[in-house]
Amino acid sequence: MASETWLIAGLGNPGSRYRHTRHNIGHMVLDELLERMDAKYTRTKFGAKAVTARLGAGGPKVVFAVSEGYMNLSGKPVRGLMDYFSVPTQNLIVVHDELDLDFGRVKLKRGGSEGGHNGLKSITSHLGGDRDYLRVRAGVGRPPGRMDSADYVLQKFSAAEQKELGIFISRLADAVELLVSEGLPAAQNAVH
């Protein structure tokens, strides 16, 4: 039987320079979830900030975490927390930016390729190639013209996007909660 403990990892980069960039949307979603629960992170020995809480009254135990390192090094802290809390791969939810979805779109899936996303590549690598984790894909859209994708995701959201960002973050946080409480098929039906 699968463990009731879940790990929700919000991907991003550390420091104020990256705080409100497209690549840090995973951090923003976890900040929203912690605000809803009036919870605060503490530092761990795994190179991540984390907090453990129950999601909803009588809900499952959930570890909310963000790496204190850069995106392409996300796998080591995620794996450390999974091992420490005995979280199986199928109970890992990774919230990340997605270039292949227009801004504001939310897609949920289990497994699949990493699509060039270095944070996902790092996690999959540290899980020994196991891709059977859940992903909350936060659409940030493609870069304009010939702009490099890496430069684009490290920029702040446009003025037009910033007007909708709060609603988008809230929808992403709702999707995470649904994944844990209702499971993937029901969450996909509600979100897609």
Residue 67 and residue 73 in contact, taking contact as beta carbons nearer than 8 Å:
yes
Q: Hey, which residues are catalytic here?
A: 23
Does 133 appear as a known binding residue? no
H-helix or E-strand containing 52? strand 48-54
Q: Is 91 annotated as a binding residue?
A: no
Q: How far apart are CA 122 and CA 73, in angstroms?
A: 6
Q: Which residues of 129-144 are buried (b: 16+ CB within 10 A; e: fewer)?
A: eeeebbbbbbbbbebe
Tell me if 26 sits within 8 A of 81, measured CB to CB.
no
CB 41 within 8 A of CB 50: yes
Known binding residues for tRNA: 18, 70, 72, 118
Known binding residues: 18, 70, 72, 118
